[in-house]
């Protein structure tokens, strides 16, 4: 019989932790967690990103064949619990779960910033968002070491707290060198409705291995919006410093996608 989520945010975390441990009886917990995040990310991506559908569908079945039927059903249950958990409010739920499972010290020394810290930083950095929108149609954010997306989620929360529709007024680009962190960030940003591109790559080496576009990126026509906005911008003066390459990583992805889809 399927386990029912316990009421409240802590209850959802406890339920999801239990489901992950149940699936880790034959496979290590780290691998089960990574597979859950990737399977869920692929399931979301393949609903909206047809440019990458075939390769990701093959990857999905390559992962799932390692698990038995009851374990596969449990992965689906995990996704449902995560969706309900995110519905409890803005937070870095997967980062919180990762740390509660004590995987940070044993797996690449990863540490996810507490969301309360990210939230405070976002509120201080953004200030009066409404005044800024008087001068620009939308805001863009780039996080070159995004982890599970906590800082980008905090920015969405800060905008939302000022009664502004962040699903239409912000776009985020997150980059991380770790594939599981990329899947975590993509999954959470997708379920929170944040228009975003999450890039698996090395921001310092300007390397891109893969990219993931959230449903709101696709539904909001952000490939077109970002490309058009970039073309409308005046070129920098000769004496102005060149923009940071990491900040243009998302633009490079958009330009490639636009070309593939023949939008211009």
User: What's the rounded mean pLDDT across residues 44-69?
Assistant: 96
Domain boundaries, the chain: 9-100, 129-261
In the chain, how long is the greatest CA-to-CA distance?
68
| Inter-residue contact 172 to 141 (CB < 8 Å) | yes
204-258 pLDDT, tens digit each: 888 899 999 999 999 999 998 988 887 777 565 555 554 444 456 777 888 788 7
Q: Which region among 21-35, 100-114, 173-187, 213-227 has the lowest average model confidence (pLDDT)? A: 100-114
In which element (H, E) is residue 208 found?
strand 207-213
Give dist(CA 199, CA 196) in Å, integer.
10
Burial class (CB in 10 A: 0-12, 13-18, 19+), 172: buried
Question: pLDDT tens for residues 11-43?
Answer: 999 999 999 999 999 889 999 999 999 999 999
pLDDT, residue 264, reads: 44
Question: At a CB cut-off of 8 Å and minimum separation 6, what does 88 contact?
Answer: 8, 9, 12
* Model pLDDT for residues 126-170, shown as the tens digit of each residue: 999 988 888 888 999 999 999 999 999 999 999 999 999 999 999
Assigned CATH for 129-261: 3.40.50
Q: Helices (DSSP H) in 87-146: which residue ranges?
A: 93-100, 115-126, 129-133
Q: Which residues pair with 21 in a beta bridge?
A: none
| The model scores a pTM over 0.75 | yes
Cross-sheet strand order for the sheet of 196-202: 139-143, 170-176, 196-202, 207-213
Tens of pLDDT, residue by residue over 190-199, are: 999 999 999 9
What are the tokens at 222?
Answer: 């952000």
Q: What is the pLDDT of residue 56?
A: 97
């Amino acid at each position: 019989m399927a386990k029912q989520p316990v009421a409240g945010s802590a209850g959802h975390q406890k339920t999801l932790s239990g489901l992950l441990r149940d699936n880790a009886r034959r496979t290590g917990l780290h691998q089960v967690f990574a597979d859950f995040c990737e399977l869920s990310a692929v399931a979301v991506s393949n609903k909206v990103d047809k440019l990458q559908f075939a390769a990701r569908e093959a990857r999905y079945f390559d992962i799932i064949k390692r698990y038995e039927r009851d374990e596969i059903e449990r992965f689906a249950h995990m996704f449902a619990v995560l969706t309900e958990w995110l519905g409890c409010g803005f937070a870095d739920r997967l980062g919180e779960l990762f740390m509660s499972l004590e995987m940070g010290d044993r797996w690449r020394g990863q540490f996810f910033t507490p969301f309360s810290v990210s939230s405070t930083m976002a509120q201080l950095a953004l200030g009066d968002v409404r005044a800024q929108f008087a001068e620009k149609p939308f805001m863009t954010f780039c996080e070159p070491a995004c982890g599970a997306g906590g800082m980008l989620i905090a920015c969405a929360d800060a905008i939302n707290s000022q009664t502004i529709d962040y699903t239409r007024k912000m776009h985020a680009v997150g980059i991380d060198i770790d594939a599981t962190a990329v899947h975590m960030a993509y999954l959470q940003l997708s379920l929170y409705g944040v228009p975003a591109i999450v890039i698996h790559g090395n921001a310092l080496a300007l390397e891109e291995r893969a990219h993931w576009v959230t449903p709101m990126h696709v539904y909001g026509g952000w490939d077109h919006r970002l490309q058009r906005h970039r073309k409308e911008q005046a070129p920098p003066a000769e004496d102005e410093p060149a923009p940071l390459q990491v900040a243009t990583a998302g633009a490079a992805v958009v330009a490639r996608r636009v070309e593939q889809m023949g939008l211009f």
